[in-house]
Amino acid sequence: MDFMEIRFDGRLPVDRDDVEDELNEALEGVGEVSGAGSGAFGAHLDVDVDPAAERDEVVRRVLGVLVGLGLSGLARIRPGDGTEWIDV
């Protein structure tokens, strides 16, 4: 896996920059936030991931950050090696 997409459906209860900072800290050595955007229906983050990184570990780290920030029910992720979304 070399990237992950994170979608936020609706208004975030925390600043998006704080989410990016937490993700970058949690993914140190295996990935980093590389892009972001927002619109009328929500926001998204793009995460570059080291292709050699363990997929399940990267997913676990990302989910841990999102749950820890209270984004359950507002966020979903799509690892770049799949087509299915994982709800937080």
For the stretch 40-75, pLDDT in tens is 778 999 999 999 999 999 999 999 999 999 999 999
Give the pLDDT confidence of 18-48 residue by residue, as tens digits. 999 999 999 999 999 999 988 777 899 999 9
If one counts the domains in the chain, the total is 1
Average pLDDT, stretch 5-28?
95
| E strands present in the chain | 3-9, 31-39, 42-49, 75-79, 86-87
Q: Does 66 map to a domain?
A: yes
Asked whether residue 1 carries a pLDDT value surpassing 80, the answer given is: no
Q: So what's the pLDDT on residue 61?
A: 98
Q: What is the pTM of this model?
A: 0.92
Residue 17, domain CATH? 3.30.70.60
Domain with 35, as residue range(s), is 3-81
Q: Does 87 map to a domain?
A: no
Helical pair 55-68 and 16-26, crossing angle rounded to 10 deg: 140
Q: Does 36 map to a domain?
A: yes
